[in-house]
Chain A
């Protein structure tokens, strides 16, 4: 009985020693609205369309890969091929964040790497329809100018390609002619040396 009491008292004191030591430590909680902790670089939230420098806007080409891979079926993409352009441009990109599970598969499959994570963290709403995000909103007003630039760039690239093809063809033709000339004059190789 006495032994039991002593053991009990010792275990009680040991426990209290631990709590006593910890009582004087700095609190581990952070007072949220007044202080904020640093956000992780890898933080995942709703997806956004990232601005690409070479395009001056998003670079969504409406390939539909993200729409197809999404396990929650929460992405809707539509697009059109603008007049005089080869590549498509998205005209609608909607995400229902209420369904998203932040797996990041859409980012993995995006061929133009134009998808990224938003840095928002405090979304709140009164209904599930409050989480329908239209990702094209920041890019709508400059879409026409971007299309013009892209069209010009495409035309330039096409012209350059055409010129390159023409140049190659000319070079080939010249080489053929030279070969033909070489055939006509046997031992012509020796003339050069």
Chain B
């Protein structure tokens, strides 16, 4: 292992060479650069070089008050911005012990799960695109568009939502929203069957993903991986289940796990099943949406969490997203650390990639579902 992780391996060996994959490679989904050490097409070493999308979110948080960080939160991960935005609100509510009305909680869950489906759909589309299939990409974007339209109707944005507020949400949902959401759920259940026929059952797809890029549970423990990558390895861990937050304990859903030991195909099946579970949650939430206010009655004008450390974690579309906030009792945090799952996932690449072929790199990198701004923050 040690020689593969070495940054400057023996450059004098004429049989091996270096290849920069990225930062403009189409399959690195943004500006991730991986320096590969190759012997022919076999990978000897891989070294992810990150930081091209660094926007200093953590530093910005130290220079503005808690409310002003709100628009930043969804830009950390633009594919599941709603989950991140609401997670930040929940973290602050947790720190200042503010109760959220039940209606706002359920609306948050509906929006969060819709966002999770849209994120997984985009993953499915681009992953199959990386492997050479163009059709699922277009179908996936069509369905994702429906979700974006639904969320647009209440948030006014399509990608970087700023919907949550400390103590609730900005806008109430109307009957039109509920009707469109339940229509979408019915439609998407049928549509997932089509995706299964088109992608999951496809022989070429299976050959490209089965037994490729196995991330075993040992490695997962060493690197503290989370999300679908963790569940694909057979560990049924989901923050929504293990440490329920925001009212998730009221809903009945399963945590899907992989059956094959954590290869790319497992990660695919786990995400497909997660979309079904999200639909289940949305169905239940629509049925039990209570009446009432969408904002807490008494939201303090100045947000001043008590001095000390506060930690809050949610299950984002990519895994365990945690926020560690150190407060000194003033308006501005001393430190706001974001624990982002993609960063952890991509850090296993120097261990997982060596020994595989170059074409599999694309599959492995795609299957862990990275979002580069979330790695760099």
Contacts and interface: CB of A to CB of B under 8 A. Distances in A.
Interface of A: 7-8, 11-12, 14-15, 17-19, 22, 28, 40-44, 69-72, 101-105, 108, 117
Interface stretch (B5-13, B33-41, B156-164, B228-236): B156-164
B243 interface: no
Contact of B135 (A19, A40, A71, A102): A19
Contacts of A69: 67-68
A22 B170 contact: no
B202 A11 contact: yes
B145 A15 contact: no
Contacts, number: 73
A140 B308 CA distance: 50
B-side binding surface: helix, strand, loop or mixed? helix
B45 to A, nearest CB: 34
A108 to B, nearest CB: 7
Contacts of B70: 71, 103, 105
A117 B142 CA distance: 28
A62 B135 CA distance: 55
Given A17-B197, A19-B135, A28-B145, A40 B153 contact: yes
Contacts of A11: 201-204
B134 to A, nearest CB: 10
Contacts of A117: 156
Interface in B138-188: 139, 142, 145, 149, 152-157, 160, 162, 165, 170-171
B210 interface: no
Given A19-B198, A101-B160, A104-B162, 20 more contacts: A8-B203, A12-B203, A14-B201, A15-B135, A17-B197, A18-B194, A18-B198, A22-B139, A22-B194, A40-B152, A41-B153, A42-B171, A43-B152, A44-B156, A69-B68, A71-B70, A101-B75, A102-B156, A102-B157, A105-B68
B153 A71 contact: no
A105 B303 CA distance: 14
A167 to B, nearest CB: 37
A108 B165 contact: yes
Nearest to A14: B197
Contact of A15 (B64, B68, B165, B197): B197
B156 A43 contact: yes
Contacts of B154: 42
A12 B128 CA distance: 15
A134 B153 CA distance: 28
Contacts of A28: 142, 145
B201 A102 contact: no
Contacts of B311: none
9 contacts: A8-B204, A11-B201, A40-B152, A40-B153, A71-B67, A71-B69, A71-B70, A101-B75, A105-B67
A17 B194 CA distance: 10
Size range of the chain B interface in the assembly: 20 to 34
A42 B152 contact: yes
B68 A71 contact: yes
Contacts of A42: 152-156, 171
Nearest to A72: B71
A96 B329 CA distance: 33
A40 B156 contact: yes
Nearest to A8: B203
Top-8 shortest CB links A-B: A44-B156, A103-B71, A42-B156, A71-B68, A103-B162, A11-B203, A101-B71, A40-B152
B310 to A, nearest CB: 21
B170 A104 contact: yes
Contacts of B361: none
Contacts of A104: 156, 162, 170
B72 interface: yes
B58 to A, nearest CB: 15
Nearest to A7: B203
A8 B202 CA distance: 8
B297 to A, nearest CB: 16
A8 B205 CA distance: 11
Interface centre among B75, B149, B156 (most CB of A within 10 A): B156
B84 to A, nearest CB: 14
A162 to B, nearest CB: 33
Contact of B72 (A17, A41, A71, A108): A71
A63 to B, nearest CB: 14
A107 B70 CA distance: 14
B147 to A, nearest CB: 13
Interface centre among A19, A22, A104 (most CB of B within 10 A): A104
